[in-house]
Structure 1
Amino acid sequence: MLPAMTSRAGAPPRTWSIAELADEFDVTHRTLRHYEQIGLLSPERRGTTRVFHRRDRTRLELILRGKRIGFDLEEIRRIIDMYDEQPGEEGQLRYLLEQVADRRAELERRRQDIDDSLAELATLERRCRADLRRLA
């Protein structure tokens, strides 16, 4: 086992329990266990207790950010794991920029679809109101 890293003034590094991370990020314990099960998080195990370190907390932040912008868990894993693999951070950032551009284009298409639907609804509403006035 590797010796524990220390933080400022020799104090042990900050760790979090599953309850602390779940509360901080407003996710369920089940969500964190799922992320662990699929390999996105790898907390230390002390018996049946999970001990999350800064790396896990940072990864959770990235997972949740990726989900907010619409990436699926496999895409999130690919992006996060690229940091530790070749071509490293530069490759990760280039790949992420491509994914962001693709996601942005998809959202712009959706926005246009929504705008078109709203315009159609407005036209239909005007016609219905006009027909009601004519019938009255």
Structure 2
Amino acid sequence: MSNGVAVNFAVLSETRAEADDSRFYTIGDLAREFSVTLRTLRFYEDRGLLAPRREGTARIYDARDRDRLSVILKGKQLGFTLTEIRAMLAEERGNNGIAANLNLSLSQIEDQITHLEQQRIEVEEALVELRACRARLINVA
């Protein structure tokens, strides 16, 4: 009897996965789920990162678009440019047809860490300069 339960659970899991794959989303659905604006989604579409199907004027996104959006936003969070993200998505699509994650190489990770550390130094320098300007202005007043 325990084997029957395991089999039923496996079938239920497959059914849920299939249901998620066949689910469709409106632009508003994705905007709410990922806390982005409608304008952001249209921008990603204009840049060729997302390709929703159209029904009249409505944009209809599928599970693949949702996965791609997740990857795009993760890439942005890690500081990659949209051009870099587009290249990663194209590379992923060439490998297996689905963009499930960024699949970063060690070299890409090391380069991005170096880039972000340099940006942090530049931001700290800008903050020091702005704080000094603020202090001078407060002392003049």
Q: TM-score band, normalised by the shorter chain?
A: 0.5 to 0.7
Query: What secondary structure does 2:23 align onto?
Result: coil
Deviations 1:5-36 (A, max 9, x none): xx828868111100010011111111111111
Q: Does 1:27 align with 2:36?
A: yes
CA distance in 2, matches of 1:117, 1:19: 38
From 78, 88, 104, give the equivalent of 2:87: 78
Normalized per residue, the structure richer in helix is 2
From 15, 18, 28, give the equivalent of 1:8: 15
List gaps (5 residues or longer) in structure 2.
1-13, 133-141
Query: What secondary structure does 1:42 align onto?
Result: coil
One-letter amino acid of the counterpart of residue 47, structure 1: G
Q: Does 1:18 align with 2:63?
A: no
From 52, 57, 61, give the equivalent of 1:48: 57
Query: Percent sequence identity over matched residues?
Result: 42
CA distance in 2, matches of 1:117, 1:48: 45
One-letter amino acid of the counterpart of residue 24, structure 1: E
CA distance in 1, matches of 2:65, 2:96: 22
TM-score (normalised: structure 1)? 0.67
TM-score (normalised: structure 2)? 0.64
Deviations 1:64-120 (A, max 9, x none): 11111111111000001101226989xx746x4322210111223344566788899
Relative contact order, CA 8 A, sep 6+: which one is greater? Answer: 2
- State the partner residue of 2:110: 101
Q: Note the aligned Cα RMSD (angstroms).
A: 3.3
